[in-house]
Amino acid sequence: MSPEPTTELWHEERLLIDGALRSAEHDATYPVENPATGGQLGVAADATPADVEAALAAARRAFDESGWAGDVELRVRCLRQLHQALVEHADQLTELTIAEVGAPRSACATVQLTAPTEFLPYYADLAEGYEWTTPLGVADTLGGPAERWTERNPIGVVAAITPWNVPHQINLAKVAPALAAGCTVVLKPAPETPWCGLALGRLVAEHTDIPAGVFNVVTSSDPAIGELLTGEPRVDMVSFTGSTATGRRVMAAASANVTKVFLELGGKSASIVLDDVVDFGLAAATAAFGTATVAGQGCALTTRVLLPRSRYEEGVDAIAEMMAAMTPGDPTDPGTMMGPLISDRQWQRVNDYVRSAEADGARVVCGGGRPSAIPDGHFFDMTLLADVTADMAVASEEVFGPVLVAIAYEDDDDAVRIANDSIYGLSGAVFGADEHRALAIARRIRTGTMSINGGVWYGADVPFGGVKQSGIGREMGVAGFEEHLDTTAFARPAG
């Protein structure tokens, strides 16, 4: 792998453990790749089990012995400091994210950086105004009149294990509510995107009053390092985002200590286009733009497009026309809508799904492989597969690339049946001229989030998560904050 041309790219290579930026044990490092070129950007600290042990011990000590858990005012101030630091370093973080994630510059202005930065003031405000104590009034009990109330307390040490597709979004969706609630955190970013997580650690260390041990970041080339966190009795909550297969293993490991888990896992969400739409433009644009933003590497994307059989080819043509106009390109170019996949391994996975679908009888309407104009990097064309049937792997399994499948349905009931015929239930969409009908159909889909006629549900205040094998619990919003709290009920004699 050839090195990148020498450039000054703001980044952090060191771990954050117990308030100190430090190298991994034995100064171990591993290479960080640029997915747009395949070249090496630099290195990141390659944590060992001893480093993880140090981070865990620091987080446990900070929760048990410091005043962090009980000092709301300190937590609010620190979250606002971290927000300011992220804003002040937005330009450097943008360049870092483009280089490490392959995210287009336009995506950094939204979901890849700018939008998740605003999670911090949201949770600072929420913690500041939260009803930590709730009176329940006086009741007659077997012991006489009793005054009752509940108190909410931070759950403890949180192990946050995050993926590579939108690292700032998911890092901050886990870290911000955990810190606001009074928890301490060990963040373990994906091996592919260590710099995004380590940058957060550096900003915490250099620009906030967050006490030593409250926030720790460990990166490693070995995904198994995360397993040291999931079965650890000193961890009070495991917050994991990633594949359903890995989520099952996380849940099994956590069960040994009955550790609470939050799981945000895979998706194969359906976008239902009803037969009364005037044209397919809005549905086509929504599907194409959503896919392009993260090169199809998003768990909540609607990757199954359900079209009425009576208008199937019309819908396929509209979507193909929109997708064909969104060619991948250099993520540093402001005009680029879609960047590369994260790695060669991911490229091969996506390609295998497309080739398998072709062998099963699916029709490649557009895309289907590497763009001819881009010989380097991990780019894959926007791809639409038509004539897809339920028995094809591409119809039921998460591809995690810029691949949409078009499936025909007979009537409303059939569309609902196909949409729900999945182990997943993370998101979805319905498009229709009759909004009451569209909403009625949307309410029949078992899923965690739902868009009607292009409505956008994403926001710091909106709880996000799935049903079925898409996960357990909710992230973001008040629900995401309360995932990090325990409730204690109190009573004392009245009067």
Q: Per the residue annotation, which of 100, 192, 264, 482 is the catalytic one?
A: 264
Residue 264 among the catalytic residues = yes
Q: Per the residue annotation, which of 196, 299, 398, 483 is the catalytic one?
A: 299
Residue 299 among the catalytic residues = yes
3-state secondary structure the chain: CCECCCCCCCCCCCEEECCEEECCHHHCEEEEECCCCCCEEEEEECCCHHHHHHHHHHHHHHHHHCCHHHCHHHHHHHHHHHHHHHHHCHHHHHHHHHHHHCCCHHHHCCCCCHHHHCHHHHHHHHHHHCCCEEEEEEEEECCEEEEEEEEEEECCEEEEECCCCCHHHHHHHHHHHHHHHCCEEEEECCCCCHHHHHHHHHHHHHHCCCCCCCEEECCCCCHHHHHHHHCCCCCCEEEEECCHHHHHHHHHHHHCCCCEEEEECCCCEEEEECCCCCCCHHHHHHHHHHHHHCCCCCCCCEEEEEEEHHHHHHHHHHHHHHHHCCCCCCCCCCCCCCCCCCCHHHHHHHHHHHHHHHHCCCEEEECCCCCCCCCCCCCCCCEEEECCCCCCHHHHCCCCCCEEEEEEECCHHHHHHHHHCCCCCCCEEEECCCHHHHHHHHCCCCCCCCEECCCCCCCCCCCECCCHHHEECCECHHHHHHCCEEEEEEEEECC
Which amino acids are annotated catalytic? 264, 299
